[in-house]
Amino acid sequence: MLGAPREGKEMNMRRTRTDTTAGIRLSGCPRQARRSSGFTLVEALTVLMIVSIGLVLGVPSYNGLMERQRASTAMHLLTAHMASARNTAISYRIPTVVCPSNLAGGCRTDGDWSQGWLMFFDKDGNRQPDLREDILRDENAPIHPSRRILSSAGRSELRYLPDGRSAGSNLTVRLCREGMLLGQVVVNNWGRIRSETGSGSIPCPG
């Protein structure tokens, strides 16, 4: 009988300690601060101004880069076909011509390569493909309509002899935009080819 009150007192003491500990734990929990989300008008205007400045500075540079890339691609393709014509003439021992295309299976005579070019065997030396099977390649020029590809005056085509030499005087094919030089391909009498990229600030020779 005397043990019962003591046990009751011990249980009350344990319950009190548990309640106190729980209270301490609850009171120690950090409260999450509430912050308002979103941008203020000043912040939004600042971001908009920074983006606008980036576009103004970046777009011209990007356009210039793309312009140079297109010019480089067109000149590389033309150079590759000229080199292929030289190798073909040497390998088959047949004169081979690269000329501006008239889009009808023949060569233009005005030196305008802007629509594309042909590569063909020229056995009789008339600088025109006599048979359809003589045409080895018919390539469209990968340029914008505002660009022009023009060869030097008096040289509307490139003719390779079986020894790899280029018949006639040096040939220069220029890539122009609005009268300004973007690049050029030069072939000397020995048939060697080199290409140069222009800045677009030098006038394109007529």
Domain 67-197 listed as CATH 3.30.9.90: no
Residue that wins the pLDDT comparison between 157 and 40: 157
Please state, for a pLDDT cut of 70, what percent of the chain lies above it: 72
Partners of 195 in beta bridges: 185
- For the full predicted model, state whether its pTM sits above 0.85: no
Q: Tokens standing for 64?
A: 């210039």
Q: How far apart are CA 124 and CA 196, in angstroms?
A: 33
Top mean pLDDT of 63-67, 91-95, 172-176 is at: 91-95
Sign of the torsion formed by the C-alpha atoms of 8, 10, 12 and 15: negative
* Rounded mean pLDDT, 137-153: 86
Q: Tokens standing for 84?
A: 């292929």
Q: Nearest CA to 68 among 60, 80, 79?
A: 60
Residue range 170-179, pLDDT digits in tens: 899 999 988 8
- Here the contacts of 117-124 (C-beta below 8 Å, separation 24 or greater) are 117/78, 117/81, 117/141, 119/81, 119/84, 119/85, 119/88, 120/96, 121/92, 121/94, 121/95, 121/96, 121/97, 122/94, 122/95, 122/96, 122/97, 122/159, 123/94, 123/95
Residue that wins the pLDDT comparison between 168 and 61: 168
Q: Which amino acid is residue 115, in one-letter code?
A: Q
Residue 15 scores a pLDDT above 80: no
CA atoms within 13 A on the CB side of 155: 21
